Amino acid sequence: MPDRQEQIELLLDHYRSPRHRRALGDADVVMPGGNPGCGDIVTIYLKGEADHAHIADVTFEGEGCTISQAAASMLMEAVHDGRLTMEQVLSMDYHAMIDALGREVVASRPKCATLALGTLKAAIRKYLWDHHLIPEAEAGGAGAERGLVYGTDAVRAAKS
């Protein structure tokens, strides 16, 4: 397990040299996510495979604090390197994301640390809903109880 300084250096590396940070022109879903508490914004671009289970490509764009942007980069890298399926991403635990980022380093900023994961999950649920693979009740997000906003109002909410 990396020590606190190594975790900080890893976060700074991802913030300064983000992985998979770009718009994706042929995305099936473009999902903005916002953190009204501090103004962080992460927009996820998701392209599904023909089998509707695998992720062909996923990228992000965003603005905000070091933690939110580094977390988005680290998440994109994990999805790409692990060739994660949509179901695997949906089952990812927010606490595990905080642990991967370094709990001691991000403990005071859990919303910043989990914004990208929540936004990616919302993008996947929208993709599955758009392809009639889940019922409407499952297509909604689970971010409201954590104070995060996904979808068309996310950017406005984060900037207000």
| Comparison of pLDDT for 150 and 29, the residue scoring more | 29
Structure tokens at 98: 């905080």
pLDDT, position 145: 43
99 vs 139, more confident = 99
Q: Is the pLDDT of residue 160 over 50?
A: yes
Residue bearing the bigger pLDDT, 22 or 143: 22
The pair of three-digit structure tokens given for residue 46, joined into one six-digit string = 């998701």
pTM to 2 decimals?
Answer: 0.90
Tell me the one-letter amino acid at 4: R
Residue 117 belongs to what domain range? 4-159
Locate 62 and state its tokens.
Answer: 């965003």
List the one residue out of 100, 56, 61, 51 whose CA is nearest residue 79: 56
The number of domains in the chain is 1
Q: Which of 42-46, 74-78, 149-153 has the lowest mean pLDDT?
A: 149-153
- Average pLDDT of span 44-68: 97
pLDDT band at 152 (very low <50, low <70, confident <90, very high): confident
Residue with tokens 């971010």: 143
- Per-residue confidence (pLDDT) for residue 136, from 0 to 100: 64
144 closest CA partner among 159, 122, 129: 122
Identify the residue with better confidence: 84 or 36.
Answer: 84
Q: What is the Cα gyration radius of the chain? A: 15
CA angle 81, 85, 89 (to 5 degrees): 85
CATH code, domain with 134: 3.90.1010.10
Sign of CA dihedral 115, 118, 123, 124: positive
